[in-house]
Amino acid sequence: MKNESILFSILMPVYNGEKYIGKSIASVIEQTYENWELIIVDDASTDGTANIISSFSDKRIHYIRLQHNADQLNALLEAGKRASGQYIMFLHSDDTFTDNRALERILRAISIHSKKDGFYADIPTMDEDGKSIGLLKADNSKYNRLIKRIIFSYAGNPRFDVFVVRKSIFDGPVKINYLTDNTIYYLNCLSEKPILDIKKIEPWYRYRLYKGNYINSDIGKFVATNGPFRTIKRLYDAQLFMPSWVFKSRFVFRLLRKTGLWRFIPLKKNKKDPEALDAYLANWFIDLKNNSYPDILLKQITAIRQSISTLHNRAKPYEIFKIPDKIYDGKDARSFYKDYISGNLPKIYLDLLDKDYDHIVTTQELVTTVERIKKFICLDTDIIIK
């Protein structure tokens, strides 16, 4: 494939983004490399977003408006269905490309590293007015050290969620890991290829930091923490974790995090250690509580710890013989939180977060759905078929 024939699909979700989306779109149109498509999914905005988008007449821009607010990852999934490019990337509606040659640099990287699954980079940051304020450094560590950094950062993504990947990778691991489960896109812990082959290249993306950022709200904190719970559970299930002594002393754990001495502790592989995960979650609970994170996250950690400590017990069943009308995946974390706050969360989820039980009883027909419910909350609880 000649480089000139490579089509980039740029996916842009937006919700009430009238303040900045014009600048985001303009940064795409200004690219010197012109073989791109911009797929904008408007997540039922109620401001002037649609009018700003319609002011651009470029045929390479495709606009889709959702009738009901579906959350960002669902909007990206919808955009992905329309993508026809060989490479796919995201550009959020309040961010921009670094300059007009951003796509050219990515294209050059593709020509040099044509067999890579994708690319990532450091991310320059800007303030509300577009003034440069810093640089987010993406971790370029090898696998073992990268996994340890993820664990010690409470499953923060040290390579961030800004990437360019092949369409086959987007339609496979990225769609499952990131867009559906809201976990780190490049980790395939239980597969033969546990991490995607992605290459760090020159920056192409500018990220806007400002007080109104979604991440600073309670709902943003929930979404940004619910996914990491799932990432840690995946690492634990894949038998990739740290020894329990690292977490049992809060002083030691905090010291290792602060000094970076965790780098010298080997991963504990090929054996699940419930004590290690429980102690790790106990530290996470304290830090979330001390930083005034939403109470639902504290409930979730408590439920996960209970599921670990009572695994394989058979004294206290919780029966599920009827499935609620609404089932949540990682991509629906924002909707889950809104339903919790409004009192509309299905009773099964409230029970699994609050009740004292050590296994779930259900029917064969409902097992798959019950597993989805467990997966969202990150429970380790056994399921017994009745």
154 token code pair: 């409470």
Q: 362: number of CA atoms within 13 Å, CB side?
A: 20
Q: Are 241 and 277 contacting, i.e. CB atoms less than 8 angstroms apart?
A: yes
Identify whether the C-beta of residue 294 lies closer than 8 Å to the C-beta of residue 221. Answer: yes
Structure tokens at 209: 């930091």
Query: Closest Cα to residue 332, out of 205, 227, 190, 187?
Result: 227
Question: Which two three-digit tokens encode residue 75?
Answer: 């909007």
Q: What is the pLDDT of residue 216?
A: 73
The most distant pair of C-alpha atoms in the chain lies apart, rounded to whole Å, by: 66
Alpha helices in 39-82 (DSSP H): 49-54, 72-82
Q: Say how far apart CA 136 and CA 267 lie, in whole Å.
A: 26
Return the pLDDT at 271: 86
Phi, psi (rounded to 5 degrees) for 118: 175, -165
Who contacts 123 (Cβ-Cβ below 8 Å, separation ≥6)? 135, 136, 138, 160, 162, 203, 205, 206, 207
DSSP one-letter string for 311-380: TT--SSEEEE-S--S----GGGHHHHHHHHHHT-S-HHHHHHHHS--SEEEE-GGGHHHHHHHHHHHT--
Dist. CA 306–CA 170, nearest whole Å: 35
Per-residue pLDDT of the chain (386 residues; tens, 9 = 90+): 456 689 999 999 999 999 999 999 999 999 999 999 999 999 999 999 999 999 999 999 999 999 999 989 999 999 999 999 999 999 999 999 999 999 999 999 999 999 999 999 999 999 999 999 999 999 999 999 999 999 999 999 999 999 999 999 999 999 999 999 999 999 988 777 789 999 999 999 999 998 766 677 899 999 999 999 999 999 999 999 999 999 999 999 999 999 999 999 999 888 899 999 999 999 999 999 999 999 999 999 999 999 999 988 899 999 999 999 999 999 999 999 999 999 999 999 999 999 999 999 999 999 999 999 999 999 999 999 98
CA pair distance 98, 4, nearest whole angstrom = 21
The SS3 of residue 97 is strand
Query: What residue ranges in 98-211 does DSSP mark as E strands?
Result: 118-121, 123-126, 132-136, 164-166, 198-201, 205-208
Q: Which domains does the chain have, with CATH numbers?
A: 3-212 (3.90.550.10), 222-385 (no CATH)
